[in-house]
Chains A and B, each alone.
Chain A
Amino acid sequence: MTGIDPRGPRFTAAVTTAVLAAVLVSPPAVATVLVALQAALFASGVALGVQRTPTGLAFRTLIRPRLAPPAELEDPQPPRFAQAVGLVFALVALMGYLTGAVLVAQIAVGFALVAAVLNAAIGFCLGCEMYLLLLRVRGRAPTG
Chain B
Amino acid sequence: MKKYITYLIAMLILSLSLCFPAAAEKAPITFSEDFNTLYYQQSYTRFDASSLNFELQGGIIDDPIQLSANQQMAVDEVELREDMNEVIIHAMIKYHDGSTLYVYYLREDYIAEYQQLREEIDGDYTVDFAWPEENIVVHGKDAFFGKKTTVSSDTVSRSHCFTVYVDSRSGALALIKGELLLDDGEYYFLSYEENDIDGSEELYSGRYESFTVWEITDAELLEKLDQAESAYYDEDVGFLYDDELGEVITAVAMIFVFAVLPFGAMITFLVLAIRTTKLYRKLSVIICILSAIEISVFSLIAAIIMIAQ
Do A and B bind? no
